[in-house]
Amino acid sequence: MPDTIQVDPKTARILPWVVAIAFFMQSLDGTILNTALPTMAESLKVHPLQMQGVVIAYMLTVAVLIPTSGWLADRFGIRRVFLAAITVFTLGSLACAISPTLPVLIVSRVLQGIGGAILVPVGRLSVLRFYPRQQLVQVLSFITVPGLLGQLFGPTLGGFLVDYASWHWIFLINLPVGLLGVLSALRYMPKVAPSGSASFDLFGFVFFGTFMLTLTVALEGVGGTSMPYTQLVLFFVTGFVSLAVYYFYARHARNPLFSPGLFSVRNFSVGLAGNLFARLGTGAMPFLTPLLLQVSLGFSPLKAGLTMIPMTVGAMLIKSIVTRLIGRLGFRLLLSINTVLLGIMIGVFALINKDMPYPVILVIFTVFGVVNSMQFSAMNTVTLLDLSDEQASSGNSLLSVIMQLSMSMGIAIASAILGEFSGISSYSATGGADVAIAFRNTFICLGFMAVISSLIFYHVTPSSGKSGERKALFQHEKSMEQ
């Protein structure tokens, strides 16, 4: 990492607030939308179960563009790229709010994703560049708090705005926050000349990005769109061929986008595979649960948002004891057991119906939040724990990409399963009873996928986490909240 750049005391006090605005915007946008999907679908004259493209478009754009963030900051300067990112994100929010049709909304979400992909990584990079190492944990802890607040209040705020205003306001709310972020960055983010020395693997970026894009689009195509079978096959083949081309190219490239040498680190390889496959089951839950509550159970958007709060509260509460559990059990045993529990908890959502007492539903959401948070805290940490200083930046970037990719693929797969069980291809294709059965079967399938992925974690190094790892875990959790 480049040497720390000295800033004046006033800037040092205010800059974390500027970055925190970016964290809050992205975190709020990631949670406020899901509660509003059924109402948005009604307004756009499509079925709520066909709204997955709105979520996938953003996640996939972020996944594809994350690797460019560091290069852009080095090439054009942190301040300039941060301002551009927050501006694009804000304009994308405006475009989403005025979208008259679902295809236009999906394109607008791509624009939002272009800003979101750069916003948080460059904001975090500014902290790494402008603060000495002894202050990093304190500053990173501070800027992640707004992100946690966005996750906590996003679903409820989304439900409130839909019930008492309109769905357009879930995007319009970003405009004043974005304007504040732009003005604050112009005033307080230091001007630092771009290094201009960074190289970027454009060839690798194109082929790795093509792999992610075509595979996800193909999976979404399976989920009930009118995409012809031949086109689906072509997308799948193009995706896997692109991945093969990238792999063989990266083995001999001087500075590949992601070095194949990363996979010589056992825990990194296992953790990355675990992240990919475990998130296929869990990545769709923030998308599915608001639909379950509103489409199947008939909850209002506000009640659905309030119902999801215990999930986030449970996730926050468990973080204080994750380190101690890992110290006692080690990563391998904890992840092997917890991934099975995670699959079981996903399956428990299949039991939720209109006759279930509301307090029981809240308990299910809380326990799932606890198990899910423990899973990701341990899974993300073991992935990066054994990387060298030279490998850490590239490994962290690849992990971020895989996290976004697996969540978008998880939503695509869940939508395909839900569409298959419900038979929905148009708004009036099925009734409420059939939808309830479709949700039940979908949760069972996703839970089974998560349970099977637990076998991956058996290959984690047996001694990992049992001693001397707690400091690394603590620092990593703070930096990976977003």
Question: What is the pLDDT confidence band of residue 374, given thresholds at 50, 70 and 90?
Answer: confident
The 10 Å CB-count burial string (b at 16+, else e) for 185-223 is beebbbebebeeeeebbeebbebbbbbbbbbbbbbbbbb
pLDDT confidence bin for 107, thresholds 50/70/90: very high
Q: Which of 24, 39, 8 is nearest to 305 (CA)?
A: 39
| Whole-Å CA distances, 125 to 340, 354, 465 | 36, 47, 27
Q: Which of 432, 277, 426, 440 is nearest to 346 (CA)?
A: 440
Token pair listed for 22: 């970016």
Q: Which residue has the tokens 């409820």?
A: 156
Model pTM? 0.82
Taking 70 as the threshold, does the pLDDT of residue 208 lie above it? yes
Per-residue pLDDT tens over the stretch 230-245: 888 898 899 999 999 9
Please give the pLDDT value at position 257.
85
- Per residue, the 3-state secondary structure of the chain, as one string, reads CCCCCCCCHHHHHHHHHHHHHHHHHHHHHHHHHHHHHHHHHHHHCCCHHHCHHHHHHHHHHHHHHHHHHHHHHHHHCHHHHHHHHHHHHHHHHHHHHCCCCHHHHHHHHHHHHHHHHHHHHHHHHHHHHHCCHHHHHHHHHHHHHHHHHHHHHHHHHHHHHHHHCCCCHHHHCHHHHHHHHHHHHHHHCCCCCCCCCCCCCHHHHHHHHHHHHHHHHHHHHHCCCCCCHHHHHHHHHHHHHHHHHHHHHHCCCCCCCCCHHHHHCHHHHHHHHHHHHHHHHHCCHHHHHHHHHHHHCCCCHHHHHHHHHHHHHHHHHHHHHHHHHHHHHHHHHHHHHHHHHHHHHHHHHHHCCCCCCHHHHHHHHHHHHHHHHHHHHHHHHHHHCCCCHHHHHHHHHHHHHHHHHHHHHHHHHHHHHHHHHHCCCCCCCCCHHHHHHHHHHHHHHHHHHHHHHHHHHHHCCCCCCCCCCHHHHHHHHHHCCC
Least confident of 46-55, 258-267, 291-300, 425-434: 425-434
Structure tokens at 441: 């079967």
Residue 355 pLDDT > 80: yes
**What average pLDDT does range 120-143 have in this prediction?**
71
Q: How confident is the model at residue 427 (pLDDT cuts 50, 70, 90)?
A: very low
pLDDT band at 251 (very low <50, low <70, confident <90, very high): confident
Both tokens assigned to 83:
């301002």
pLDDT of residue 359: 94
Average pLDDT value over all residues in the chain: 82
Using the predicted structure, report yes or no on whether residue 223 has a pLDDT greater than 70: no
Q: With 80 as the cut, is the pLDDT of residue 336 above it? A: yes
Q: How far apart are CA 346 and CA 444, in angstroms?
A: 7
74 or 102, which is more confident? 102
Say how many C-beta atoms besides its own lie within 10 A of residue 479's C-beta.
19
Q: Is the pLDDT of residue 338 over 50?
A: yes
CA distances to 164, 306, 405 from 64, rounded to whole Å, are 36, 33, 8
In this prediction, residue 475 has a pLDDT band, given cuts at 50, 70 and 90, of very low
> Could you tell me the two tokens for 393?
């930046």
Q: What is the per-residue pLDDT for 181?
A: 86
Answer for the pair 158, 305: CB distance below 8 angstroms, yes or no: yes
List of residues 6+ apart from 162 with CB closer than 8 A: 35, 36, 39, 170, 301, 302
Query: Residue 141: its pLDDT value, please?
Result: 66
What Cα–Cα distance (Å) separates residue 422 from each residue in 50, 84, 231, 333? Answer: 12, 43, 23, 38
Q: What is the predicted pLDDT for the residue at 224?
A: 53
pLDDT at 37 over 60: yes
Statement: residue 299 has pLDDT above 80:
yes
Q: Flag whether pLDDT at 278 surpasses 90.
A: no
Give CA–CA dist 458/183, Å, rounded: 50
CA 61/CA 385 separation, integer angstroms = 27
Residue 15 near residue 181 (C-beta atoms within 8 A): no
Looking at the chain, the whole-number percentage of residues with pLDDT higher than 70 is 87
45-71 pLDDT per residue, tens:
888 877 888 888 898 898 888 888 878
pLDDT over threshold 70, residue 75 = yes
pLDDT at residue 329, rounded to an integer: 82
pLDDT at 477 over 50: no
More confident residue, 139 or 304: 304
Split at pLDDT 50, 70, 90, the class of 469 is very low
Say whether pLDDT at 10 is over 80.
Answer: no
pLDDT given at position 284: 87
Q: Which is higher by pLDDT, 175 or 314? A: 175
Structure tokens that stand for 186 in this block: 């112009």
150: exposed, middle or buried (Cβ count in 10 Å: 0-12, 13-18, 19+) = buried
pLDDT of residue 325: 82
Q: Which of 354-358, 372-376, 469-473 is modeled with the greatest confidence?
A: 354-358
**What is residue 245's predicted lDDT score, i.e. its pLDDT?**
93
**What distance separates the 2 farthest-apart alpha carbons in the chain?**
63
CA 155, CA 31: separation in Å to the nearest integer?
6
Percent of the chain with pLDDT over 90: 24
Is the predicted pLDDT of residue 471 greater than 50, yes or no?
A: no
Q: Which residues contact 123 (CB under 8 A, 6 or more apart)?
A: 19, 22, 23, 82, 143
Q: How confident is the model at residue 362 (pLDDT cuts 50, 70, 90)?
A: very high
Most confident of 148-152, 258-262, 372-376, 428-432: 372-376
Instruction: Return the pLDDT at 227.
Output: 67
